[in-house]
Structure 1
Amino acid sequence: MRSPHTVRPSRRLAFVSVFAWVWASASGAALAQTPPAPAPAPASPPAASTGPSPARPDCDATCVRAFNDRAAQACAPQIEAQAPIDFDWLHRPFGGIFQQGDTPDAEHPAIRYRGDSIRFQSPQKEWVRVSYECSYDPVRQKIVSVTVRLGRLDRPAAPPANAAAAAPGAQNGKPARAVRPRPAPRQTIAPRAGEASDIEFFQVNPRASGAR
């Protein structure tokens, strides 16, 4: 009988190596033919706002206090520009210029600050107390409007003096009474020399005159 053919270990190792190389090549080719996964599309940027940003609807009393100093720095020059001749701050630079503040709402979308810490010099060289109101947008951080008026916040300016003198009886809701004209003073005639005046007549002693 013919003895069975035996494979030597070296040939078996070479065969295994060739088989592994062929398998690796086939796997690499298959991977090369696989198309790569598409990259995710970039997120679209947020749409730009075309109009002005509205004021913060959540601006409460804390928000009003937080923007107080910033609004004062932006509003003070615009208040000063309203003075006809000169101005005089009563508390600056060591104090605030606002004493009141309102939170934004649907009708007024900005913070409304008010104060009366300034005086304006009138053309008559008189110093007049002035109150003011500044509307400040906390989103855009800018002044929306500035208004000033004569008088303090709790005491508006008094009416002119000539208006009160024109109708003195119209105060307290009472109608003015007609004023009667005063009679003209009597004309006195100076006494002549040697005549007794009224004062001399009443000072005459009746006993002395009867003894004559």
Structure 2
Amino acid sequence: MTIPAPARRPATGPAWVTFVGVALMLIAAVAAGFAVRAFIGVLPSGVLALDGSSGGDVVAAIDAGAQGTATLEPGSYTMWLAAAGSDAALTGPVQVTGPDGRTLELRDPSTSSQVTMGDTHAVASSTFTVTTAGRYVVSVPAGVPSTARVLIVPAGSEPDFVTGLLGTVGGAFLSVGLALVGAGMVVGGGIWWWVRRHPKPRPVV
């Protein structure tokens, strides 16, 4: 009985499976990058600087127990209560008075938002809408701790927030799904390739 050398079969199929798997994993990495960018876009990154001071998006900062002014353009704004620690509170409501002497209506934020930088913690406390550009007077009651301050930041639109949130969740699911499928195809293609390259010899009588 002689055992001939096994005939090698072409590895086109395994090569394509492996190639597609690698491509899917690369696409998964890109989707993960978009998900991270969408997540960062949702975060209130301009409220506090790294050292806990007012961030780049803050248009006015008023200490607790003081009165300040802010030149505002038409649009929506969010008030953030910032202080060292996470238990800051004011003894009463903040009052915003427009150029015409009218007091603006303050509303609760549509979403719960907070950010911490160093020892400083900021919480979105209220929102208001400006219809007329001008100089607004902001009266802040005393706070606990006494070093608390109110930060006024232009509010992002609700559609932008929803889009960013959906982009984060969708991108995360897409990247994980593609990565799992791609990894499975790479492993399967590698096994298939090895089997093609090392076929069992067929005995001949």
Bin for the TM-score computed over the shorter chain: under 0.3
User: TM-score scaled to structure 1, two decimals?
Assistant: 0.21
Larger radius of gyration: 1
